Structure 1
């Protein structure tokens, strides 16, 4: 269990460290090369704690990355009142000690509507890219609430009505529509200064991925376009511009519009794995997978890997194995990981990162590997005693 929040001398929220060993996987044979591989593995959770500042605010949809100099960057949507609201903003925190402590969050952007999701990547050239998307989804809740007279059941109190009204009316209806988009920020000085935001053609929660060649791929969905492409966009100029490289072909039973929140990783061989949050009837709420052997120009038909949970973040470890981290939004609520030793052909049984969640408003875990082999995973979670989600971190190890 996490310790009650307290402040240490350096201003970092601290948590009691807990040690939890996850049972070894049983070894078994697989009938399909595209299923779950039963493999022996053991992981130990060394500590779990909340790392977000300002508990009276809601924090959501983080991405964690590790720079070449060892610094950890954690991007997220902060400043929020709830899962859906007009107050979201793009924030960034840094850790210079592998997540033992975190600095004060820097607000990168706060537009007049909702800034949601946050991806972060250090490119092979050393630039830092941040991504998010903006949304007017909160306006439906606002307009419905304004129709309920004060004092009636489910009516908002006067303070909330006034705050949402003031936030919503900062812009005209046309101006609000022009704020909706998928965005990127770029820094070439380690995040000291940032470019103005610029439109990019797609979004995925954890942002683009880098290839060994120096190319960048953004595997995602064109959220607000009339033609909702789900595919791969390429940048050959360090993230300044992006061009459509390929589209995913759905399974015959699927509609592409029900593919969401993709992420990818390059294997040692050069093969690229992409995983997809699936909302089609077949394999609903599972993670689907597709592969490319030509640098993202073409992709296999998405297929089930037998993993219920979403969305997924992919990481290649130093030893070449792949790790997928994903939210598990049914009891026991939490976050899980799986390993692949064969470049995504098969995946291990689940490794439990956390399983003490109180409801499904959690997840979007992402993981980095430190020099000593420690893994650090961060996700967001509504915890007991508050509806305001916090950023929660686990430090853990694979022992086999």
Structure 2
């Protein structure tokens, strides 16, 4: 074991190695020497503040110096604002943005968690320790002492625990917050400085904000985008005050469905317009333009407790490019328990419309997928096909037509896939895919690259896999953004670029957009506004 650790040290540190550094203070006059990956960080009157309450992961790095052994002391205070875990965090021995140790001070659950994160799984190893004295609106002081494989954690002068792990031998430090407004005070740091074999580089997704406030409370989520025959991009999304936005004094009808437009292929977006606003929570919209030019938005209604006759699917139609919308039309389906939708209507070459729903066939049963078929332009949906998997809930199906005419469906949560060879009238038994995820979205590009974007739970991030053989094999997950919201939607632009829209999650959740180049050589995220030329 000792020889393996020596080898790891040799690989991690450059020749010339380590040197003990004199104790130093980190005083928050500004952010010099630090680099923000995500979050709203600022130095103010000697305090470091992270002011964004909602995100599960905000982090600031000190990439210029790496340490092996270290002794770091820093005060922190969590605000009582919000409903999240209100967690401060200390990151150390980080060799990349995905590989590091992390101490997580979870105020809401009165626990301190020692974490090791690795590529592909953010909390690869998590060891939890209860600490009832951890409170909001109170200054606490933590001390992290790391020598070799031994990790000691102190809080307010008391040693909480000691953990042993030698996976990572050296790296940079960082500070992190989760679902809370956190303040950090002056830090004291001493340790053994080392030179990493590879410089620590902070990579940031080149996203742009599609919508940050639709005027309903600052929470936007669940976007879907389509490109019309006129070349306009239309993005519909949920707009409320939280993940479930029931009516209140400020928003008497609860959340609504909004729409933003872009006439320059996603560089800029209009102010939000209202599509639907019924007296209860309207959510999970998707939008399609049919071959006859009509626009149709699918969505569902929701109330806490999922009371009967409130968790239903509706359609709204527009014949004038979304300037006006007709009244909501309920969808008649065979689902007798609560029904839901998260996928746009898909039009087949013969004009048949497919509408994938999910819900319980009978109250109390596990959720299943139900694909409705319409042969009269959406006026009626007399045919359907059910997709079951014994002992499993099936949610959030996405459907795409492959070049040979087969239909491929990918389903949350594991994920699973199935196919239809008869236009959607019947489906094979779902089979496991090589990756788990939520809210998958499928797109077959003009280059015949099959894309599947989704929320990747193991890393709490937005990712994508692709296939060059119509789904027989898939790539490893590609990171798009480190936010957990996801519910992505994809559309191809005239120049071959792929526009991705998704959301961030948490209080103040936003809709984001970025661009991809997808070819048989791979998929890469393009610079902001797609200023690069696809390869």
TM-score, length of structure 2 as denominator length: 0.54
Q: 1:244 to 1:350 in 2, by over 3 A?
A: same
- Aligned twin of 1:115: 282
For residue 183 of structure 1, report the CA deviation from its aligned partner: 0.6
- Aligned twin of 1:188: 319
- Aligned twin of 2:353: 216
- Aligned twin of 2:411: 276
Deviation digits for residues 53-76 of structure 1, max 9, x if unmatched? 427510111111122332111111
2: distance between equivalents of 1:182 and 1:326? Answer: 22
2: distance between equivalents of 1:241 and 1:203? Answer: 18
Deviation digits for residues 140-196 of structure 1, max 9, x if unmatched? 9xxxxxxxxxxxxxxxxxxxxxxxxxxxxxxxxxxx965542111011221122111
For residue 320 of structure 1, report the CA deviation from its aligned partner: 2.2
1:359-398 matches, cutoff 5 A:
360=484, 362-382=485-505, 387-398=507-518
- What are structure 1's unaligned runs of at least 5 residues? 5-43, 141-175, 279-285
- Aligned twin of 1:233: 372
Q: 2:434 aligns with which of 279, 283, 306?
A: 306
Q: 2:229 aligns with which of 68, 83, 89?
A: 68
For residue 388 of structure 1, report the CA deviation from its aligned partner: 1.5
For residue 312 of structure 1, report the CA deviation from its aligned partner: 0.3
Q: 1:225 to 1:130 in 2, by over 3 A?
A: farther
For residue 46 of structure 1, report the CA deviation from its aligned partner: 8.3
- Aligned twin of 1:329: 457
- Aligned twin of 1:353: 480
2: distance between equivalents of 1:243 and 1:184? Answer: 16
Deviation digits for residues 85-132 of structure 1, max 9, x if unmatched? 212101111111111001111111111111111111111222111011
Larger relative contact order, structure 1 or 2 (CA cutoff 8 Å, min sep 6): 1
Q: 1:229 to 1:395 in 2, by over 3 A?
A: closer
Q: 1:116 to 1:223 in 2, by over 3 A?
A: farther
1:102 aligns to what SS in structure 2?
coil
Task: Indicate whether 1:261 and 2:422 are aligned.
Answer: no
Deviation digits for residues 209-241 of structure 1, max 9, x if unmatched? 121222110122246964865221011122222
Deviation digits for residues 330-360 of structure 1, max 9, x if unmatched? 33x32111112222222122222112x3xx4
Q: 1:197 to 1:70 in 2, by over 3 A?
A: same
Q: 1:316 aligns with which of 440, 444, 452?
A: 444
Contact 2:418 2:427 in 1 (8 A): yes
- Aligned twin of 1:7: none
For residue 136 of structure 1, report the CA deviation from its aligned partner: 1.0
Q: 1:45 to 1:289 in 2, by over 3 A?
A: farther
2: distance between equivalents of 1:337 and 1:189? Answer: 34
- What are structure 2's unaligned runs of at least 5 residues? 1-36, 41-202, 247-253, 334-338, 522-535
TM-score, length of structure 1 as denominator length: 0.71
Contact 1:2 1:49 in 2 (8 A): no
1: distance between equivalents of 2:374 and 2:354? Answer: 6
- Aligned twin of 2:295: 128
1: distance between equivalents of 2:310 and 2:279? Answer: 8
- Aligned twin of 2:268: 101
Q: 1:312 to 1:319 in 2, by over 3 A?
A: same
Structure label with greater radius of gyration: 2
For residue 207 of structure 1, report the CA deviation from its aligned partner: 2.3
For residue 259 of structure 1, report the CA deviation from its aligned partner: 0.5
Higher strand residue share: 2
